[in-house]
Structures are given as structure tokens and as C-alpha cells.
């Protein structure tokens, strides 16, 4: 960055390109130029601050749908650094907050991997919609959600068919890393009306 006090050298004489006080000596002028250059250099080196994740999480809990929607999109854009905060929000006592966190993690995809343990716990949430949202978020995370396979296997016995369906889809999305789930999927496919999802999941897990 060029300082507004840039000087010119003419015939061995250092002269400022802007007027200086009559009594300012060349040595003083040089000192001023050096100081300004140091300030400018420091400004250039300062890195812009990233998004304020805690503030965005606060907005995500807002009752204002517009503010909440903007915060969700912003957190999806932040990606991986927002994962731990969203995982914490999954533990909220407020069902709406838990559901919003899971929905945001769904939009984040694999960048939400830090929340896998919390999402696995959410598969046993008393709220059916939350269990569905947790399974969908794990599906979106994909192979990086392998740690949730045991919880997903347990959720294959959920009393709600839509939950079992989303769980089977999530296992298929995890792929070969969900190999341990095949026996449970086979068992579920023998009687479960969501058998098409089960068969597709098994095919994806066995794919190489």
C-alpha cells in the first residue's frame, strides 16, 4: 500500500509530494513517512474477522422466522467451525431449537461431522420429527457419519415407519462403512413396509 506521504527523489534531494510545514526538516519528513508506512503495513496485515458463530446461534433461536432463516443459511456457509455449536444446540431443552439445529446440519452436509455423536443421541428423541431430522442430517453427512451406525441400527426398530425409512436411507448414504448394519437391515426388510428403502441401503453398503 502506498502512503499518501510518498516522496520523490530529485537530484539526491528527498522531497515529499505533499506540502510540509516550512520548519520541517528533511529528516523529520522521513520520520513521518516511515511512521505512516508502518501504520499502513499493519493495517494490511490485519485479517478480517470471520462470522460471529455465537451471535448466529442466538439468531437461530429467535422467534423471528426471517432472522432464524438468515442465521441458518449463514451457519451453513460457515461450515465446519459451526458444527460444535450446533451439536450443543441439539441438547437444548427446547424442541424447536433442537429441530432447527438438525435442519441446519442437514444443509451443512459433511461439514457437520462434529455433530455426529449428538445426532446419534437425537435418534432416540421423544419427538418423532426430531428423530426424522436427525436421521436426515446423518444421511446428509454421509460416510463421515459412520460413528452413528450403532444408533442407526437401534433406530431401525423405531415404532414410526417414516423414521425407520429415513434411518435406512441414512445407512445407505454412509455406504460401506455401515457394513455392520446389514444383518439388521436384512431382518427389517423381511416384514417392514419400508423394504424398498432397506433394499436400496443394502445395495449401497455392499457397493465397492
Instruction: For residue 61, give the C-alpha cell.
Output: 433461536
Nearest Cα to Cα of residue 89 among 114, 124, 52: 114
pLDDT tens per residue across all 208 residues of the chain: 444 444 444 444 445 444 544 455 555 555 555 555 555 555 445 555 678 899 999 999 999 999 999 999 999 999 999 999 999 999 999 999 999 999 999 999 999 999 999 999 999 999 999 999 999 999 999 999 999 999 999 999 999 999 999 999 999 999 999 999 999 999 988 877 888 999 999 999 998 6
* DSSP H helices in 90-181: 95-108, 116-122, 128-141, 149-155, 161-174
Nearest Cα to Cα of residue 121 among 147, 139, 144: 147
Amino acid at each position: 500500500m502506498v502512503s499518501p506521504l510518498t516522496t520523490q527523489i530529485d537530484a539526491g534531494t528527498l522531497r515529499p509530494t505533499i506540502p510540509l510545514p516550512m520548519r520541517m526538516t528533511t529528516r523529520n519528513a522521513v520520520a513521518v513517512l516511515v511512521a505512516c508506512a508502518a501504520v499502513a503495513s499493519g493495517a494490511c496485515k490485519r485479517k478480517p474477522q470471520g462470522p460471529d458463530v455465537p451471535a448466529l446461534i442466538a439468531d437461530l433461536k429467535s422467534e423471528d422466522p426471517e432472522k432464524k432463516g438468515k442465521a441458518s443459511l449463514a451457519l451453513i456457509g460457515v461450515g465446519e467451525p459451526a458444527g460444535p455449536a450446533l451439536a450443543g444446540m441439539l441438547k437444548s431443552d427446547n424442541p424447536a431449537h433442537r429441530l432447527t439445529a438438525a435442519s441446519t446440519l442437514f444443509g451443512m452436509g459433511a461439514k457437520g461431522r462434529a455433530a455426529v455423536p449428538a445426532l446419534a443421541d437425537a435418534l432416540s428423541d421423544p419427538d418423532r420429527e426430531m428423530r426424522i431430522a436427525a436421521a436426515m442430517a446423518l444421511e446428509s453427512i454421509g460416510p463421515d457419519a459412520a460413528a452413528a451406525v450403532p444408533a442407526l441400527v437401534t433406530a431401525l426398530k423405531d415404532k414410526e415407519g417414516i423414521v425407520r425409512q429415513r434411518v435406512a436411507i441414512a445407512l445407505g448414504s454412509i455406504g460401506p462403512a455401515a457394513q455392520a448394519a446389514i444383518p439388521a437391515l436384512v431382518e427389517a426388510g423381511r416384514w417392514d413396509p419400508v423394504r424398498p428403502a432397506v433394499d436400496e441401503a443394502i445395495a449401497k453398503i455392499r457397493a465397492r
